[in-house]
Every structure is written in C-alpha cells, then in structure tokens.
Amino acid sequence: MSLDDPVVITCAISGAIANRDQCPAIPYTPEEYGAEARRIVEEGGVHIHIHARRPDGTPSYEVEDFVAIRDAIRREVGDAAIVNFSTGTVGVPVSKRIAYLEAGRPEVAALNMGSMNYAKYSRTRKDFVFQFVFANPFDEIIELLEAMRRLEIKPEHECFDLGHVGSLAPLVDMGLLEAPLHADFVMGVVGGVPATARNLAAMADNLPTGAHHWGVIGIGRDQWMLVAAALTLGGSIRVGLEDNFYLPDGEMARSNGDLIAVARRLTEELGRRPATVEEARAFLGLGVNEPAA
C-alpha cells in the first residue's frame, strides 16, 4: 500500500458492548441500522462492520437478527456499501457463527487472529472495569476460514497484537488464504498492542510478503491519532460507535455519520483520496482468487 492508494473508510456501526446509556446514537433496531448506514454512505463511508443486536439492544448471534439488519441496510443504501459481519464472540459456538454467515452472505466477515486478555482499565479506580480471555484458537480460525472460502466471503483479519499478524503466514502457507489479504490492526485494547504510531508501522511491516490491504482500528480517544498515522503511512481507516463515541474536539457524536465526516475530512486534508465503493471492492480483493504471494 502507498499514499497514492485510495483510502477505504470503514464504519463499525454499533459493536456489541456499549449501550445507549453510554451513547444515545447506538442503533438497536434494523431500521435504526439502516438509517445509520444512510448517514455513513452520505458522508463517504463504503464499508460497514456489523454486530447484530435485538431490538431491545442486547447482542445477538441469531440468523434472523443478522439478516434483518443486512436487509434494512440494503434497503437504505443498496450496493453503495460493503457489508461486513463480525464473527468475534465469547462463548458462541463456531457452528452458530457459520450459520449466520451462510444465511446472510456478507461480502466480508471479520476474523479475529488470536487469543488474548481483553480488558478495560480504570486509572481512577485502580482496577479493571472488565476483563476476560478472548479465545481464538487456530482450530476455530481454520474452521471459520474454510466456511468463508466455501461461501466466497472475504476474511478481514482483525489483529490485536503483533503476534496475530504473524499468525497469517502459516495460513497462507497452508493455502487457506489468498492474496490480497485484508488486515485491520486493532489498537488500544488493554491486553493487546498499545496505541502508538510506531506500533502501527511495525504491524504493517510484518504482513506477509505481497500486495495486501491494511487499515487501523483505534479504540477510544486515541482513534484520531491512529487515523492520522494510518493515513500518513498509506493505510486505510475505521471509525464508528463500536470503537469511539467522541469527535476530535471532545464532543460526543450524534451519529456514525458525524465520525465518518471527520474521517473523510482528515483523509482529504492529508492529501489522500477516499475510495469509492467500487474501488474498495477491488482494493480489498473481493472476488479475487489469486494464489497468495
């Protein structure tokens, strides 16, 4: 990737952890997801990452909720955005995750590339707000990859640490992955890689040899620093209410569209060009089945 490449602007529309007590703009119902998708596309987003929820806001891993949300987004924006389903869960069987991929057939599905401690720490309390082990063993990664290959869904490799980037090479060698790879570096989670520009560059440098696409996912208020770093290094970017509620001035976003508008403005101010959805599909390798380098 280079500074001449178009920037794929992704939006993580809701996440599965935060609720409206924390941010009133988080969508719960399919209709609310659809309205948010419209705002995202109008502001220049071309790739929408989905965690499903029930209409009361609780997280869901049921086929009917993923399909209802997908359908609502398609009614609002048609093919103007790439739809991406998360497969990241704790305690949900792989078979259940494959079931909603089979029913929903997203173009892309996020795939976590390794296990880790996952936590949020409070300096005020001197204690963890929450902590758990986020288990993603190789056997589950391979089972999900095999399903994605069968369903012709492009994996998005979410890497929370440098070792997760290193986990890509064996899967390429096994013939389970095909170029171009599509990796996103998740930075700022306690237990994962700290959010610094140097660490972002190191993660990009450790991708397997070949022409691959990468972007950054900054968690919390470090998001905007990481967005600027990724744009400067030639990468793509993700923002959205899953990752961060706040605009650079500290004001809470009123919608995902507010965050996408800032991301687009920063892209243009740093001399980069936001990708069209057609460019994004080509750049992410959707439909491309070439041997990995």
Cis omega (within 30 of 0) for bond into 180: yes
pLDDT of residue 290: 37
The H or E element spanning position 10 is: strand 9-12
DSSP class of residue 117 equals E
Give Cα separations from 60 to 55, 83, 157, 197, 241 (angstroms).
10, 17, 22, 34, 17
**How many angstroms from the chain centroid is the CA of residue 82?**
12
> Regarding beta strands 82-86 and 47-50, do their DSSP bridges make them parallel or antiparallel, or are they unpaired?
parallel
User: Residue ranges per domain, the chain?
Assistant: 9-291
In whole angstroms, what is the distance from residue 82 CA to residue 107 CA? 6
Of residues 54, 49, 51, 50, the one with CA closest to residue 28: 54
From the number of C-beta atoms within 10 Å of its C-beta (0-12, 13-18, 19+), residue 243 rates as buried
How many alpha carbons lie under 13 Å from residue 141 in its C-beta half-sphere? 23
Strand, helix or coil for residue 213: strand
pLDDT of residue 288: 45
Tens-digit pLDDT profile for residues 204-232: 999 998 878 999 999 998 999 999 999 99
114-135 burial: b if 16+ Cβ within 10 Å, else e: bbbebbeeeeeeeeeeeeeebe
pLDDT of residue 31: 98
**Residues of the chain predicted below pLDDT 70:** 287-293
pLDDT of residue 292: 35
- Helix, strand and coil percent figures for the chain, each rounded to 5: 35, 25, 40
Instruction: List the alpha helices (DSSP H) in 152-246.
Output: 162-166, 168-173, 197-205, 223-233
In whole angstroms, what is the distance from residue 231 CA to residue 7 CA? 8
What amino acid occupies position 134?
F
pTM over 0.85: yes
pLDDT of residue 88: 93
In whole angstroms, what is the distance from residue 19 CA to residue 57 CA? 7
From the number of C-beta atoms within 10 Å of its C-beta (0-12, 13-18, 19+), residue 5 rates as middle
Tens-digit pLDDT profile for residues 80-93: 999 999 999 999 99
In whole angstroms, what is the distance from residue 115 CA to residue 285 CA? 26
176 contacts 145 by C-beta, under 8 angstroms: yes
Q: What CATH superfamily classification does 9-291 receive? A: Aldolase class I (3.20.20.70)
150-189 burial: b if 16+ Cβ within 10 Å, else e: eeebbbbbbbbbbebbbbbeebbeeebbbbbbbbbbbbbb
Distance spanning both ends of the chain, measured CA to CA: 15
pLDDT of residue 221: 86
